[in-house]
Chain A
């Protein structure tokens, strides 16, 4: 069974702080996505990373795919209350399956 472990599970920080969320697995993936989910809504895609070592930036968010394509990180600079939500990584194992494997989630609360 392929698992995606996210850490930390919960994170409560003050506005303006920086943070990093990790998504780890022992499996190699074709690509990896990061989603953010706000209360009462479904997850919304933030980014897809495909190439080992790839770094993508989305305003204050920086996403990195590990060189071996087994792990990823999400770094938020100067967090804002609007960044509050559940962050989910999701990986494409490739092959015949068309299913994504979702991570365990990181619940972020940014206090004003």
Chain B
């Protein structure tokens, strides 16, 4: 497809379980970002990948959160031992890698931890 895709669109999980969220960026975009968004709020930066450089993990809220980007394309965000406070919409975006240029967002994954 032409845009950023994310899967699943919705995920309900029990507290303590691990979840994996997937992001397919726009082909050719070198940068990939993960954000977390609580209902009606702004975006909280989680992690940033740029080409083959080491990712910027400065926004990850705890060591239960990790992400990888394979082959410079698809990315997976993993949350281990989920907690209720992890419930949010997780958004992925891709761009050509410069902060001043447009970021193209996926539709997000709504995570609910019960």
Contacts and interface: CB of A to CB of B under 8 A. Distances in A.
Contacts of B35: 102
Given A42-B108, A105-B40, A98 B97 contact: yes
A99 B40 contact: no
B75 to A, nearest CB: 15
Interface stretch (B11-19, B63-71, B79-87, B99-107): B99-107
B56 interface: yes
A98 B48 contact: yes
Given A99-B56, A103-B42, A107-B40, A40 B107 contact: yes
Q: Binding site of A, secondary structure by majority: helix, strand, loop or mixed? A: loop
Contacts of A4: 42
A73 interface: no
Interface string B89-112: 001010001111011111110000
A99 B44 CA distance: 11
A40 to B, nearest CB: 7
Interface in A71-106: 86, 88, 90, 92-94, 97-105
Contacts of A33: 102
Residue among B35, B100, B108 facing the most chain A CB atoms (10 A cut-off) = B100
A6 B41 CA distance: 11
A42 B40 contact: no
Contact of B91 (A30, A42, A50, A101): A42
A39 B48 CA distance: 24
A41 B100 contact: no
Interface of B: 4, 31, 33, 35, 40-45, 48, 50, 56, 91, 93, 97-100, 102-108
Interface of A: 4, 6, 30-31, 33, 40-45, 48, 50, 86, 88, 90, 92-94, 97-105, 107
